[in-house]
Amino acid sequence: MTERLFNAIGLSMKAGKVKSGAFAAESTIRSGKAKLVLLEETASEATKTHYEHLCAAYGVPFYTVETVGSAIGKDSHIVMAVTDPSFRDMIEREMRNTDEKRG
């Protein structure tokens, strides 16, 4: 993960435009408020499949990234949902410049 991507994710958290943790992220996706979902690449295959299907069903872009928790200051969290389209665009722009992959 590049420093710019790491900072973009952290900035979205500081702005209050992120819901992190499994329950909060899933609730945000189901409510239609999620604009982007990031999942740590170390998550189990079952977890990845779950979020891939959930995001596909709700039309939410889904990516796996090197680290989520440390970028948002919550090391134990492996999933986050971005709720603002401007922050989604900023993160996706930075992701195009890295080797991170779409869900």
Task: State the pLDDT confidence band at 97, using cuts at 50, 70 and 90.
Answer: confident
Residue boundaries of the structural domains of the chain: 3-102
Task: State the pLDDT confidence band at 102, using cuts at 50, 70 and 90.
Answer: low
Q: Structure tokens of 31?
A: 């409510």
Q: Are 14 and 72 in contact (CB under 8 A)?
A: no
- Taking domain 3-102, whether its CATH number is 3.30.1330.30 is answered by yes
Read off the pTM: 0.89
**Integer Cα distance of 34 and 30 in angstroms:** 8
Q: Give helix 85-96 / helix 3-14 axis angle, nearest 10°.
A: 170
**Integer Cα distance of 84 and 53 in angstroms:** 21
**pLDDT (tens digit per residue) in 12-59:** 999 999 999 999 999 999 999 999 999 999 999 999 999 999 999 999
